[in-house]
Structure 1
């Protein structure tokens, strides 16, 4: 009987499999996804802040998907809220509550500029599961004898500007996220005998 030499079954299992697209050239979207994994890992405490620049440099210098895989080695895949800025069409650009109400919630996509009017009515913008077309989004909220509530999650930066004339503009949800590279939302509000209130998730 001829004895055959080669790796045992156990050894074969120990050899890491090479992804079929290992040598495929990486595109900008591949790099951005990988960069977001690195930023998320720093925000979660998986990576030290000092490792951020080195990892990101490796990501943006990578020419193939195999090199990207090396740059993000040991980091978890993005979760459902990890990619907040997306290349998708906006769900809507305008909301109007006129003698009635409006509501935007769930996983919807905001444009770089969004306008909300509440006139003798009310409305609610819930950004808890929202995605964004740009790194910075401006929401113009006007309330005339009405009210608009804006719910913001804790993984985005929020700034509230504006004033109320016989009304109120509330910025309880205004704050800077601890997450590196977080999207930024600027609320520009005006309230006349009404209110525009920005509040954090869960309140």
Structure 2
């Protein structure tokens, strides 16, 4: 095969691998961090044909069932979620005098877009996302700071979207990678 033929096959395999990754993350077979790592391999300049052919394994365990909505309530206490957990399509966190920390790097999602709504009074919110996902931040803060660091990796086509909507009184919002 010619160099141009190799290039066309590589492009075709990249597109096919990206579609498989999107389906795998949407079905809950990959966490956001696993998706991010594999999408970076797909779109890297030194991607090879063999690696692209074996990216998403066919035999993966069934994903945990995610409810369409989840509610977190905390009064005078902190709430933290990390490790492998199922992120609902819509998550609402209500905190009074407490902090919320959500680590989405190993979270399993079942929707292309997940929305996290934070309502905090005298509390900070920290959301950790993997590189390579779209992050949208909205809401309103009174006497609080807002920080968004979505990393240096460009989200590929079809990357999952995490929407963070924060309403805070005397609290900071930090959305970051690592």
State the TM-score bracket (shorter-chain normalisation).
0.5 to 0.7
> Which of 43, 50, 54 is equivalent to 1:76?
54
SS where residue 36 of structure 1 aligns? helix
Q: Give CA deviations for 1:93-133 in whole Å, capped at 9, x if unaligned.
A: 12223101111111111111111122101120001111112
Shift of the 154–34 alpha-carbon distance from structure 1 to 2, 3 Å rule, reads closer
Shift of the 34–175 alpha-carbon distance from structure 1 to 2, 3 Å rule, reads closer
Shift of the 198–74 alpha-carbon distance from structure 1 to 2, 3 Å rule, reads closer
Tell me which residue corresponds to 2:165. Answer: 188
CA RMSD between the two structures: 3.3
SS where residue 53 of structure 2 aligns? coil
Question: Looking at CA atoms only, which structure, 1 or 2, has the larger radius of gyration?
Answer: 1
By relative contact order (CA 8 Å, sep 6+), the higher-ranking structure is: 2
> Which of 26, 35, 44 is equivalent to 2:19?
35
Compute the TM-score of the two structures, normalised by the length of structure 1: 0.58
Aligned partners of 2:80 and 2:102 also within 8 Å: yes
CA distance in 2, matches of 1:98, 1:140: 17
SS where residue 137 of structure 1 aligns? strand
Gaps of 5+ in 1: 1-31, 49-71
Tell me which residue corresponds to 2:71. Answer: 94
Gaps of 5+ in 2: 1-15, 23-37
Counterparts of 1:1-203 in structure 2, within 5 Å, are: 35-37=19-21, 40=39, 42-45=42-45, 46=47, 75-78=53-56, 88-90=64-66, 93-173=70-150, 177-201=154-178
- Give aligned pairs, total: 142
